[in-house]
Structure 1
Amino acid sequence: MTEQSPVKYKRVLLKLSGESLMGPDAFGINRETIQSTVEDIKEAYDMGVQIGIVVGGGNIFRGVALGSTGMERTQGDHMGMLATLMNALALQDALRKNGVEARVQSALNIERIAESYIRGKALRHLEKGRIVIFAAGTGNPYFTTDTTAALRGAEIGADIVLKATMVDGIYSADPKKVPDATFYKTITFDEVIKRDLKVMDATAFALCREQNLPIKVFNIRKKGSIARVCRGEDEGTLVYNP
């Protein structure tokens, strides 16, 4: 890992959705898409940024959806946690094949597959130049991976949470459904919560607000966007405490 250009954020928590790994496929992991994502992560890594990652599992399993079709919610959420572990292992493999050492830490105890989440150990990995991928959510049902990202970001002392989406940032409404929706370059946590803008869940926003941990919402499909955010360039929407 070499520092090639100045960065604004030296330690970040990147939140990836499971869907962002699907690419054009209906489900699962698209190899070209995960390779492109890893290349973008490596670009930021090569600048000297310490990176923690939380990945969702919606491309494999979504417990909330099953809860509405008869499966008990806790059981469904536990299955969703295992889906995030599968995505984490796929990311780890892709990162290693691109020359980046990565560790998976799981909130569920699965020692033969991944390390158990230990904050001190995660910090040491980051300081030694390893990417840490946090899997299995918080280890508890009813908490989303967005909330996990806020929690892990606070725990590792991240400078910012990077929320990767499929749009350019936060809008007043879904820009795919409302073409003239207002785009926000900056917005406060209070405004996001008050307007019920659902780019992340309210618990995640509230936790980041309490910890004074800003969030940058950006488009993961734009090549090089992770590195641009880490350099502090004009990319996406910044959610902050005024």
Structure 2
Amino acid sequence: MDGADGQAKTTYKRVLLKISGEALMGDQGYGLHPPTVQRIAKEVKSVHDMGVEICMVIGGGNIFRGLQGSAQGMERTTADYMGMLATVMNALAMQSALEELDIHTRVISAIPMDQVCEPYIRRRAVRHLEKKRVCIFAAGTGNPYFTTDTAATLRANEMSCEAIFMGKQVDGVYDKDPKKHDDAVRYGQITYDEVLQQHLGVMDASAIALARDNNLPIIVFSLDEPGGFRGILAGEGTYTRVHG
């Protein structure tokens, strides 16, 4: 929906965008694909231009995935810390792309590394958002055994976000994998408990439970659709809303 000046309007004031590390690798099988990072940065800018305060959490699976490392015999805690460091690399790449678009950003890490980014201090992060800076939260929760999905839900609650926007490769939550099944049905809305009971893989179970306990809606949409993030904030496009 557009206002009289043609500028899209939205009821959201502050949101968290969660994307996987794999979203940054484009068609490559590994690492960062700069044109894809730039495309996602433009999506974030289009929402920032609507006056929405944005924070982000980016996974690290394009560089290193802790669970995969531990499955190959690496000690789980070490593997998870390596995964956290991968998220910092992705956050710095996204910061660079956003700042090329004149969007002020802060990378905020749960693991202190002062020469690279800020340590996580909640009140400081809130102040950055109030000043319309995009905050990219890195290094998960700072603890092993927790996924970036859980980190995203935790940070969204701490920042008083109105919703988590999950940028996926599909345009919502389906009853089965739409890439493998032509008869897969997309849900318009679904409850947290239904997601858990049906093992629908929106987020891991602890992240869904944390969102449910704090009544934090999760909007699942396709990040591959140009203009999709902005469109959904303006009430257009296809997506699934996970709520109580």
- Check whether TM > 0.5: yes
Query: Within 5 Å, which residues of 2 pair with 1:84-95?
Result: 84-95=87-98
User: Residue type of the partner of 2:96?
Assistant: D
In structure 1, the partner of 2:24 is 21
In structure 2, the partner of 1:5 is 8
SS of alignment partner, residue 150 of structure 1:
helix
1:124 aligns with 2:137: no
1:96 aligns with 2:122: no
Query: Within 5 Å, which residues of 2 pair with 1:231-242?
Result: 231-241=234-244
C-alpha distance in 1 between matches for 2:122 and 2:7: 28
SS of alignment partner, residue 96 of structure 2:
helix
| Equivalent residue in structure 2 for 1:41, among 41, 44, 47 | 44
Per-residue displacement from partner, 1:27-61 (whole Å, max 9, x unpaired)? Answer: 11111101110101100000001000000000000
| Equivalent residue in structure 2 for 1:30, among 28, 33, 40 | 33
Structure 1 unmatched runs, 5+: none
User: Residue type of the partner of 2:118?
Assistant: E
SS of alignment partner, residue 79 of structure 1:
helix
Offset, 1:184: 0.4
223-232 vs 183-192, greater mean Cα deviation: 223-232
SS of alignment partner, residue 37 of structure 2:
helix
Offset, 1:6: 1.7
In structure 1, the partner of 2:173 is 170
In structure 2, the partner of 1:184 is 187
Offset, 1:232: 2.6
C-alpha distance in 2 between matches for 1:179 and 1:111: 49
SS of alignment partner, residue 133 of structure 1:
strand
Offset, 1:229: 1.9
In structure 2, the partner of 1:105 is 108
1:210 aligns with 2:218: no
1:63 aligns with 2:63: no
Q: Deviating runs (4+, > 4 A) in structure 1? A: none
C-alpha distance in 2 between matches for 1:11 and 1:232: 15
Structure 2 unmatched runs, 5+: 1-5
User: Residue type of the partner of 1:207?
Assistant: L
Offset, 1:180: 0.8
C-alpha distance in 2 between matches for 1:203 and 1:179: 30
SS of alignment partner, residue 114 of structure 2:
coil
Q: Indicate conservation of the 8 Å contact 2:41/2:97, yes or no.
A: yes
Offset, 1:234: 3.9
**What is the total number of aligned residue pairs between the two structures?**
239
User: Residue type of the partner of 1:230?
Assistant: L
C-alpha distance in 1 between matches for 2:58 and 2:13: 20
| Percent identity of paired positions between Structure 1 and Structure 2 | 51
Q: Indicate conservation of the 8 Å contact 1:4/1:48, yes or no.
A: no
1:151 aligns with 2:151: no
SS of alignment partner, residue 209 of structure 1:
helix
C-alpha distance in 1 between matches for 2:26 and 2:35: 8
SS of alignment partner, residue 236 of structure 2:
coil
C-alpha distance in 1 between matches for 2:209 and 2:172: 19
User: Residue type of the partner of 2:58?
Assistant: V
Aligned Cα root-mean-square deviation (Å): 1.1
Q: Please give the TM-score of this superposition, normalised by the length of structure 2.
A: 0.96
User: Residue type of the partner of 1:92?
Assistant: Q
| Equivalent residue in structure 1 for 2:164, among 161, 165, 176 | 161
1:80 aligns with 2:103: no
SS of alignment partner, residue 33 of structure 1:
helix
Q: Please give the TM-score of this superposition, normalised by the length of structure 1.
A: 0.97
User: Residue type of the partner of 1:55?
Assistant: I
C-alpha distance in 2 between matches for 1:21 and 1:144: 18
SS of alignment partner, residue 57 of structure 2:
strand
